[in-house]
Chain A
Amino acid sequence: MTGKRRIRIMVAKPGLDGHDRGARIIARAYRDAGYEVVYTGLHQTPEEIVEAAIQEDVDMIGLSSLAGAHNYLFPRTVELLKEKGADDIVVCGGGIIPDEDIPTLKAAGIREIFTPGTPLDVIVKWVADNVEPRGEY
């Protein structure tokens, strides 16, 4: 038994927009960096995302949103994690997010926001620098 924890990441797409190309590209980049990525697909509610994240015991959730409901969906996800006692799961977000929304989102507990110009390797590297395997049960 090696006993080495591997980082697991959930890539989720809350909200109504129907494009998941971005989310898939990110998922692949994480995989190529050696992470295990659970992908949930489109149109997820924060409730569904959080429940899945707990069942999957992921260390991080990457939320992707293009449709502008991030100001509700992202903080709601963090809030639900807290309610479930799972707020040691790191949440970050990406997508089309106006700069002026970022401080509010960070204050709500979203650890980092990646906007469309961010290079993939920066997004991937961020995990290595900021995400640890979750604490003991």
Chain B
Amino acid sequence: MSTLPVISAKNLDLVFQTGDGSVHALSDITLDIEKGEFVSLIGPSGCGKTTLLRVIADLEKPTSGEISVNGTTPEKARLDGAYGYVFQQAALFPWRTIAKNVALPLEIMGLPAEERTSRIKRNLDLVNLTGFEKKFPWQLSGGMQQRASIARALAVEPDMLLMDEPFGALDEIVRDHLNAELLKLWATTQKTIVFVTHSIPEAVYLSTKIVVMSPRPGRIHEIIDCDLGADRPLDIRETPEFLKIAHQVRDGLREGHSYDE
């Protein structure tokens, strides 16, 4: 297998011009992400995690530096349907049923009706939402809404999932549950996942690689490998290996960020 990375960023810089000065959101970002990896971006608010994800997804253009996705530009990749993007809010359309919401990207891609139906069924099944096809988003709990939005992202059959604090708005119990489900999903679909989070345990539990970022300017402080094996029950979080990596991440965060600013 050739080892061309799925995402490859070299010396990325991004400066936002705003009404009161400029913000250096990304500075000298160099990062390779291989196929099938689960990469977490972690760091304090404002360190550019969202911005990096948006640059990958061609929602934002870097000021300088190079980035390639699947060996081409992010824009080409976007038009090819390479991305499944999941936001902190489910962002489901309230006038569409759950099934119709999952159908939305498929309609835009112009898929035939039978293909749409089968993909809706398969992906709702994958996130355990079978039976809720005809419900409207506002009739579902927050956790179910977020699962529906993951199904919507998967239905595109993207090369990679880009997830921006997808479980940040949910309570811890639901969050644990969805973390376990996401791991299963990752195992069955073999997708590349880039995952933004605030939570150290979440990052360690899910990832194969943790990117610790620090703010002002937003940059990569440290990249920590995290190989806890394929089978990760929830109580792996009490094992020494887990705690050791968690410690490492916490130290990295502390070094990269002085709290008395």
Do A and B actually bind?
A: no
Binding site for A on B (CB under 8 A): none
Binding site for B on A (CB under 8 A): none
